[in-house]
Chains A and B, each alone.
Chain A
Amino acid sequence: MPEGDRKIRVLVAKPGLDGHDRGAKVIASAFRDAGFEVIYTGLHQTPEMIVSAAVQEDVDVVAMSVLSGAHMTLFPRVMELLEEAGAEDVLLTGGGIIPEEDMRALQERGVGRLFGPGTATREAVAYIKEWAAGRRERGG
């Protein structure tokens, strides 16, 4: 692999107790097809598990699928733990059933773009690629 051409590594995580991970799997496959290296950890992830895995895997991006309605606690908690771990340069993004004003509030706290349930996966792919390119330019 040529020097400087780093693969984008993404942790796709499904926190919470709800029992469906079809959405997360679809996203994970779409990310793989976009050339990302996707670490998929399955269901029932706690914020602590997500951040431990993100650190060990040295991912660039954590993408969480939150359908349980607990996004206002989960996203800030993961954000906080990432910062504690010294991984504040990781992009936290995701999707789920999240009202506009909640999305805005989370983004103000440093969370990246969030995607509603109807969004085409290629939008998320484009967003992550753009973010990664921007980071490379910033020399990160």
Chain B
Amino acid sequence: MSGYILGALAAALAHGSVRVVDLTLTLSPDFPTIVMPPELGQSAPFRMERISHYDVKGPAWYWNNISFGEHTGTHFDAPIHWFTGRDLPLNSVDTLPPADMIGPACVIDCSKQADEDADFLLGIDHILAWEQVHGRIPQRSWVLLRTDWSKKSGAAYANLQSDGAHTPGPEVEGIRFLVEERGILGFGTETIGTDAGQAGHFSPPYPAHHYLHGNGRYGLQCLANLDLLPPTGALIFAAPLKIQNGSGSPLRVLALVQERSTG
């Protein structure tokens, strides 16, 4: 049975009827990281220092040392990342059940709203409206919030104002609904966090982190190319680095997308 499915998948990939979409942004030193008040601990940005480049430090080879925080670039949040998930079993990236690294995705397109309002919040009404069209969100699926934010860069991407960042994200009740009523596997965004830029002022603060991780669910952020995914039907591969007791990690996120059948 499985041989039959995987063989068919392999053929479809070879044939092109199943496409692989890369949902990952490039790790580079000038990519924005989450900004915390300066007296708090900070996430290290991506850095690369050369070991050798076919030179005296290594005549035939080129390689680098790299460093970054766990939550840098396109990255995965494990439940242990938030206090609400600290006592759950299998809550760190090294104990993450491998089955959870692959799952279907529902893509909710809020790009218009986010374009008009950087502080756009995804509420229950938006979710229900989406379900009206695409059907009920299946359990254990990723919900990806499409805002086209990944098409921005630099200051526009971070969108820091004197009162903090202004980027879209889920409303308290919206994320709660997805976790508790729909039983999603995880929630993904194109912005620096799974939460909205101003979510520190919500109650509870940072509700996506609060509810997702408190219920053993996952987060993906800084995703790209969500506009290439269908609202339903894509299969997400999101396997973070196996870091002992790690709270998350940069990763390559891939989506399998079946071309709409012409027959």
Q: Do the two shown chains form a genuine complex with each other?
A: no
